[in-house]
Structure 1
Amino acid sequence: MTGEVQRTADGRYIVVRGRLWRASNPGLPEAKRESLVHELMDARRAVAAAKRSDDAKAEKAARARVHDAKVGLGERGPVWWADGAPDLNRHLVKNTPYAAEFET
């Protein structure tokens, strides 16, 4: 990937190919964030290894680890903001209130 990641002005989402993806919770303590990112990367490597060895049981377990790490980071599960704004994860930017931020 080249260039910087585009973020919404409120920091809640990153934008990838015109789609919103929930960003990690910026309020996480750095040590906790580092630990969760490390676990996420380990889990993703475990998914790849399980797929290479065609081990469905190991793949399922590794995907559960990925999910748990993403929930811990705030990228999945309950939203980390408290103002009642809806979760627009995976929505096309153009179909959200963020559209004006990214018009070219």
Structure 2
Amino acid sequence: MERSAQDDERWLVVDGRRWRRTDPCLPQDVVAALTSHLGRGRSGVRTAKKSGDEAAVAAARRRVDLAKHGLGERGPIWWDEPERDRIERARVALRELDTLDDAAAAGLGG
């Protein structure tokens, strides 16, 4: 089976497993912020699992999920949607993630 340039833009293969790539139309500042949240979420999952804190695991997984949706790696298939909708979804996800930070800073969890 031949891979097209379009497939290379849409999918990344790691160890034989296919992963959806980050939406290439997203502004770099948004990608950087979402990627930062993704890394923090993944780190939070590891830390919370080690401590056995299931509530913290769930909160960290929520952060990972929001970031991956914003990046276009989960949820609606980005190449099937208009660019403006994709950018708006990323910005909404980023606002939600920043709200989690605000809630955590205020001592409300997150």
TM-score, normalised by the number of residues in structure 2:
0.65
What is aligned with 2:61?
63
What is aligned with 1:79?
77
1:65 Cα deviation from its structure 2 partner? 0.7
Q: Distance in 2 between matches of 1:8 and 1:27?
A: 19
Name whichever structure is richer in helix by fraction. 2
Q: Distance in 2 between matches of 1:33 and 1:81?
A: 17
What is aligned with 2:88?
none
> Equivalences for 1:23-102 in 2 at 5 Å?
23-82=21-80
Q: Do the aligned partners of 1:8 and 1:14 also contact (CA within 8 Å) in 2?
A: no
Q: Distance in 2 between matches of 1:38 and 1:8?
A: 30
**Tell me, what secondary structure is at the counterpart of 2:79?**
coil
Point out which structure has higher relative CO (alpha carbons under 8 A, 6+ apart): 1
What stretches of structure 2 of length at least 5 have no aligned partner? 82-110
Q: Distance in 2 between matches of 1:50 and 1:32?
A: 27
> Equivalences for 1:13-28 in 2 at 5 Å?
13-28=11-26
TM-score, normalised by the number of residues in structure 1:
0.69
For residues 1-41 of structure 1, give each alpha carbon's deviation from its aligned partner in whole angstroms, at most 9, with x where no partner exists.
xxxxxx96210000112221100000000000000000000
- Which residue identity is paired with 2:5? A
Aligned residues: 77
For residues 65-93 of structure 1, give each alpha carbon's deviation from its aligned partner in whole angstroms, at most 9, with x where no partner exists.
1011000000000011028xxxxxxxxxx
Q: Distance in 2 between matches of 1:53 and 1:16?
A: 29
Give me the CA root mean square deviation.
Answer: 1.7
